[in-house]
Copies of this chain bind each other. A is one copy, B any other.
Amino acid sequence: MRITGIFEKAVPVASTMRNAAFDFSEMTTSVVAVVTDVVRHGKPVVGYAFNSTGRYACGAAMRARFVPRILSAAPEELVDDAGLIDPEKILQRMMLREKPGGDAERSVPIGTIETAVWDALAKILDRPLWHVLAERFGDGTVAATVPCYVGGGWYRPEGDLAALSDEVKRHLGAGYTHIKIKVGGASIKDDLARIETAIGLMAGADHLAVDANAALSIGRMRDYAVALAPHGLRWFEEPCAPLDYGSFAGLAETYRPPLATGENLFRLQDVENLFSFGGFRRDRDILQVDPPQAYGVGAYAQMVARVEALGGSRQRIFPHGGNMMSFALVAGLGLGGCESYPGVFAAFGGFADGMEVCDGHIALPDHPGIGFEAQPALYQLMRELADA
């Protein structure tokens, strides 16, 4: 069993959305296909992934370093004792001749390829990835459904309270019960009006989270914390810069409701620093590392174990990126829940067809692998890549 080719294409995420820090008008993502020599239904098994949203495509680094390292290995170096392709060995092979540190430059291309390898492996095993993960990293049992919340409430070019209200109603009508909206891209007064509008439509303030996208100054962060605290929101996300552990710790001392961060942490060491120096509260704060952006699926499972060793809970890990990759990890490892971006980020912002939301939960689908084949627009992009 061997990998015969790895292909990448940069695709615009085609979003007009804006958060408090930046807009997505130039944003791209890398779609990756890992082709194996295993044949199923008359065709080679191909693993797919993309590098989530918010980090630009990274195909050049793949082509210059990571793909040649994999393809130049002896095939027996990259399989496990059962002769199956081994994501951990492939990860280590990609790390050859990489200098310590500077992870964000490589954790995204490496993590995306590694995630596609897991997709291929699960398809070879003819099982959903969540099933493979539950067996390899747990006792094989899973819950029947996964909690999903909407990451929405973006600042729209045309945005106003009526548009936000319509959006919240649409999500609730679709079966969601928990929603996250942006803050920090308007005045505190206007943001509070947005928050109160959303809460007014929902079952309670603890169903609403807010996301400042690391765009607030320290002074504004404190002002927001004072204004937000009485509402008892579900969480206050990225109140400060992602590596500003000191400010996060200071806020954790005064702001009682949950804080959240992690989508801009790229390796386990960053998470350990957040726990050691960021005042991350094991009993309430939320961790949101993005799987394909942080060295992939295997690194995620290691991180979950480490978080629990440090006194945290997997119930408070909500992976960034509303997509099938995060869904498989949440389902397979029993994490807190999954983000969802209905109608945003073009082909990259949804789940497989037929995954209906009911009372804020989505039932586990049974597509082999990650399940991209059941996302027609996305799978079209992926299949073209493998066939090219």
The yes or no answer to A22 lying at the interface (CB within 8 A) is yes
Contact A102 B246 (CB under 8 A): no
Interface stretch among A142-150, A219-227, A236-244? A236-244
Interface stretch among A33-41, A117-125, A269-277, A368-376? A269-277
Q: How many copies does the complex hold?
A: 2
Contact A245 B264 (CB under 8 A): no
Interface residues of A, count at CB 8 A: 50
The yes or no answer to A100 lying at the interface (CB within 8 A) is yes
- B residues in contact with A10, CB < 8 Å: 64
The yes or no answer to A60 lying at the interface (CB within 8 A) is yes
Say how far A23's CB is from chain B's closest CB, in angstroms.
6
Contact B277 A54 (CB under 8 A): no
- B residues in contact with A43, CB < 8 Å: none
The yes or no answer to A203 lying at the interface (CB within 8 A) is no
Contact A97 B27 (CB under 8 A): yes
Given A104-B103, A264-B102, A277-B273, is A25 in contact with B55 using a C-beta cutoff of 8 Å?
no
- B residues in contact with A59, CB < 8 Å: 60
Given A97-B22, A97-B26, A243-B273, is A266 in contact with B55 using a C-beta cutoff of 8 Å?
no
26 pairs from A and B in contact (CB 8 Å cutoff): A10-B64, A22-B96, A22-B98, A22-B99, A27-B97, A54-B99, A55-B102, A55-B105, A56-B64, A56-B65, A57-B64, A59-B60, A99-B264, A100-B213, A100-B215, A101-B214, A101-B241, A101-B242, A101-B243, A102-B264, A243-B269, A245-B273, A246-B273, A246-B276, A273-B273, A277-B277
Task: Give the 9 A-B CB pairs with smallest separation, nearest first.
Answer: A101-B264, A60-B60, A102-B104, A101-B242, A100-B214, A105-B105, A277-B277, A104-B105, A243-B269
